Chain A
Amino acid sequence: AQSVTQLGSHVSVSEGALVLLRCNYSSSVPPYLFWYVQYPNQGLQLLLKYTTGATLVKGINGFEAEFKKSETSFHLTKPSAHMSDAAEYFCAVSEGSSASKIIFGSGTRLSIRP
Chain B
Amino acid sequence: GAVVSQHPSRVICKSGTSVKIECRSLDFQATTMFWYRQFPKKSLMLMATSNEGSKATYEQGVEKDKFLINHASLTLSTLTVTSAHPEDSSFYICSAQDQETQYFGPGTRLLVL
- Taking Cβ atoms with an 8 Å cutoff, the residues of A that contact B are 32, 36, 41-46, 49, 51, 90, 96, 98-99, 101-107
- Which DSSP category, helix, strand, loop or mixed, fits chain B's interface? strand
Mask for B23-61, Cβ within 8 A of A = 1, else 0? 000000001101000000011101001010000000000
Q: Are A44 and B101 in contact (CB under 8 A)?
A: no
**How many interface contacts (CB-CB < 8 Å) are there between A and B?**
51
Known: A101-B46, A104-B44. A42 touches B32 (CB 8 A): no
Closest-by-CB residue of A relative to B102 is: A102
- Taking Cβ atoms with an 8 Å cutoff, the residues of B that contact A are 4, 6, 31-32, 34, 42-44, 46, 49, 51, 93, 95, 97, 99-107, 109
Q: Which A residues are CB-close (under 8 A) to B42?
A: 106-107
* Max chain A C-beta neighbours (<10 A), residue from B4, B95, B109: B95
